[in-house]
Amino acid sequence: METEHGFDVYYNASYIYTDEQYSDLPGNTGEFNPHSLLPDYSMLNASVSFSFKDDAFRVSLIAKNLLDESYATTYSGDNFRYQIPRDADRYYGVAFKVRF
């Protein structure tokens, strides 16, 4: 929707839920290890964008993991190493887009 100031505003939000999951990497003995059961988690992301000159220029303010929920995506099988992705921490950013 174009505003009286000559730019468009776009809003975006997403909610992602991942249920608990059993992490089974190569080298697993096939026996259930309670450490390899990864708990469920939720992600809430949002952004607001300002578009100028028929979307030739766009500036977006981005917020990831607004609930600040820490989680692991992979378990290595040795009872202490987990892969923690970047999105497991709350963070904010700015994105710029230019079309030629």
pLDDT in tens, 12-62: 999 999 999 887 655 556 667 777 888 999 999 999 999 998 888 999 999
Phi first, then psi, for residue 67 (nearest 5°) are: -80, -5
pLDDT at residue number 10: 94
Burial of 75 from C-beta contacts in 10 A (0-12 / 13-18 / 19+):
buried
pLDDT at residue number 96: 95
Split at pLDDT 50, 70, 90, the class of 6 is: confident
What residues contact 51, with CB distance under 8 A and at least 6 apart?
7, 8, 9, 10, 57, 58
CB 18 within 8 A of CB 40: yes
